[in-house]
Structure 1
Amino acid sequence: MIRWVRLSSVRLPLGTPVSDAKVLTGRQRPMSEVALLFAEIATDDGHEGIGFSYSKRAGGPGQFAHAKEVAPDLIGEDPSDIGRLWTKLVWSGASVGRSGLATQALAAFDIALWDMKAKRAGLPLAKLLGAHRDSVRCYNTSGGFLHTPVEELVENASASVAGGIGGVKIKVGHPDRGEDLRRLTAVREQLGDGVPLMADANQQWDRPTARRMGRAMEDFGLVWLEEPLDAYDAQGHAALAACLDTPVATGEMLASVAEHWELIRAGAADVIQPDAPRIGGITQFLKLAALAEHQHLQLAPHFAMEIHLHLAAAYPYEPWVEHFDWLDPLFEERVEIGDGRMRVPRRPGLGITLTEQARTWTREMCEIGRRP
């Protein structure tokens, strides 16, 4: 039975504030840190699990506060009953809904319970779920933000490929549309036609602009064009996907399985990009993955590669995982990368351990129950 839960609100500083199209349109400020919510859970027979959720720019304190309120409902429960516990926690905070911040707070618990379950079985999480592969194609995003000068952009892209990463994604959505094309041209010329290349507009185009830019980008042979429109514009994404040869990718900003289902039902995405911490954890991700598989969609989970590597390895169709090195200071372990792929760790569970540095970045912490 669960006897102890520890919650930690951690602020991870970024070395350089990053900007994408949302910053250039004035909708957001540059991002200088990531707020993370860690949940550590222990049982009376000595088993433990760790999970996390996160937010960018705002929401970290809210996630921590909600998790702190509902965490006591886990004490005395069987940690194997993960689906039932997810539902119990949702109903504990039912008045604040079943998506967004409320379920993002629950994701940390859910992921910790799956981590514990895999550890109890002595298996990596991917193997517990039923892996289709031991490694997954990976691409880098963190070197391609709009604040990065084009010379550095090209250098970052080359370094990623030289470091064993399989593809490169760069941000687009610059007020000068020609600048987007110049940056794409520079990267494509540097990498050649054989390296997979993606572009991400971060929801900042309207429908006419997305059509024009999508057509202008066709010759780059992109693996996908990401978030060309508002995340909730399912009809607009569907119309765009129908008129472009370039696959359309979206989904990372959605906060529930139900919201993703609207995209899937509308035919709005060739590539679905769910984020397990954003949609409520692994339990919800698995439901969404089943829907995506039924529609024969490609899968490319957003961010949090430490979690998504396992989930992508268990998806039937060959997926992609997004490589971000931002979270490296938080964990003792490193994901192994080579030959364009990210390898599933052989360690049980998620295979992650918090560093002492992560403890020093903790802003708030609370414990419920007593650690065995």
Structure 2
Amino acid sequence: MKIKSFNITCVQPPLAIPHKTASGTIAAAPLVLLDIETDSGLTGCTYVFVYTPMALQPVAGLLADLGELLKGHDVAPRTIAALIQSKFRLAGNQGFAGMAAAAIDMALWDCLARAADLPLCRLLGASPQASCAYDSMGQMPPDETARQVEASLKAGYRAFKIKAGHPDPSQDEQVLDAMISAAAGEDIWLAVDFNQAFSPVISIERARRLERFELAWLEEPARAEDNAGHAQVRAGTSIPVQTGENWWGIADMQRSLDAGASDHAMPDVMKIGGVTGWQEAAALAHGQALPVSSHLFTEISAHLMSATPTAHMLEILDVAGAVLTDPVTVSSDGTISPTNQPGSGIEWDMTAVEKYSV
């Protein structure tokens, strides 16, 4: 089975709930959709979330050029990944190049799973497993946070993460108190994300104020690349540290592990290198007994978590549901299982794709 052509579409679908952060509100998700057509008639599908509309055309342009380069090549993700890496060795395999390479890798794996008539997790040698899912919430005042927790509990969630780091540290405490009150006695799982907002020293000061909540983790309490700073925070608070969503490839992950930067691992399937990179990351985490949680990309991550020995939590921040025929939904027990259809769970709602294309 060989690559025939790439079909690339840029869309900006709305988020079901606008995601509020310290730097603004994200109301729509800039996505590049990729369909890789093969000479067998099968098509592999995926998307990448490129964070800003300004990245849509650069990533789409790179994919178009790579589509010409890869035409006629076997649908062999590891071989293709090595070829693309060689082409960007001098320019670097991060940023736009990494986004494009990961899109190709994910679409090729989707195609292989469809060709085998298997869900992706089974192609990877794993039975479908339900993952504990958490609602990844934005930065909101206590009353608004409480209302979202109440709505999410009704939807089935029992786990929540908030964007912390309000200007006044006491506001973070007020938000967490409001979440616990909204749960009305239910046993809920809580984590917070500092989003690289503070120095290690300030993060330690603020984290100590939150220790009474017995949080599951404190995410990115320092700049993503500051491995020593993350290790410093680990030593300065009883809250476990979580990082990894900004690891661009296995080398970044290895540097973090060598520095003792985190109690957990959170690879982002796009930044870590697609399905191929995720498998390497999962093996590395397994070797160090690190719990692995996902970042974004819920559909394909549900499959990858099933094939991850130390799988922990599945993040739910639905960026693509508006353009899918079967958006991910949480079960009444707060879990999400991978789709049982062949592939990675991506089927386009073409009416919506046309509506939100840019």
TM-score normalised to structure 1 length: 0.90
Match of 1:200 in 2: 193
The alignment status of 1:307 with 2:303, answered yes or no, reads: no
1:140-189 deviation line (CA, Å, top 9, x unaligned): 01xx312x332121111122122112301111111111111111111123
Residues 132 and 316 in structure 1, CA contact (< 8 A), matched pair in contact too: no
How far apart are residue 97 of structure 1 and its match?
0.9
Change (3 A) 1:132 1:238: farther
Q: Judging changes above 3 Å, is the alpha-carbon distance between structure 1 residues 132 and 204 closer, same or farther for their aligned structure 2 residues?
A: farther
| Whole-angstrom CA distance in 2 between matches of 1:180 and 1:19 | 15
Query: CA offset at residue 63 of structure 1?
Result: 1.0
Query: Which one-letter code corresponds to 1:170 in the other structure?
Result: I
Give, in whole Å, the separation in 2 of the partners of 1:290 and 1:312: 12
What is the CA–CA distance in structure 2 between the aligned matches of 1:341 and 1:18, rounded to whole Å? 22
Residue 349 of structure 1 is aligned with which of 322, 335, 343?
343
Displacement of 1:213? 1.5
Query: Structure 1 residues 132 and 219 mapped into 2: Cα distance closer, same or farther (>3 Å)?
Result: farther
Are the aligned partners of 1:237 and 1:248 in contact in 2 as well (CA < 8 Å)?
yes
Tell me the residue number matched to 2:55. 59
Partner of 2:181: 189
Query: How far apart, CA to CA, are the structure 2 residues paired with 1:16 and 1:320?
Result: 21
TM-score by length of 2: 0.93
Q: Does residue 165 of structure 1 match 2:157?
A: yes
Matches within 5 A, 1:5-20: 5-14=6-15, 18-20=19-21
Q: CA RMSD in A?
A: 1.8
Change (3 A) 1:194 1:15: closer
How many residues matched? 353
Question: Are 2:33 and 1:38 equivalent residues in the alignment?
Answer: yes
Matched letter for residue 171 of structure 1: K
- Residue in structure 2 matched with residue 26 of structure 1 by the alignment: none
**Alignment CA distance shift 1:132-1:209 (3 Å):** farther
**Could you tell me which of 109, 133, 138 is aligned with 2:133?**
138
Pairwise mapping of residues 62-211 of structure 1 onto structure 2 (< 5 A)? Answer: 62-79=58-75, 81-131=76-126, 134-141=129-136, 144-146=137-139, 148-191=140-183, 192=185, 194-211=187-204
Deviations 1:208-227 (A, max 9, x none): 21111111111101111111
Gaps of 5+ in 1: 24-28, 364-372
Q: What are the ranges of 5 or more consecutive residues in structure 2 without an aligned counterpart? A: none
**What SS does the corresponding residue of 2:271 show, helix, strand or coil?**
helix
Is the 8 Å Cα contact of residues 161 and 192 (structure 2) preserved in structure 1?
yes
Query: What is the Cα deviation at residue 134 of structure 1?
Result: 1.8
Q: Give the letter aligned to residue 8 of structure 1.
A: T
The answer to whether the 8 A contact 2:200-2:229 is kept is yes
Q: Aligned ranges for residues 351-370 of structure 1 at < 5 Å?
A: 351-355=345-349, 356-363=351-358
1:223–1:246 Cα contact (<8 Å) kept: yes
Report the CA distance between 1:12 and its aligned residue.
2.3
> How has the CA–CA distance of structure 1 residues 45 and 124 changed in structure 2, closer, same or farther, with 3 Å as cutoff?
same
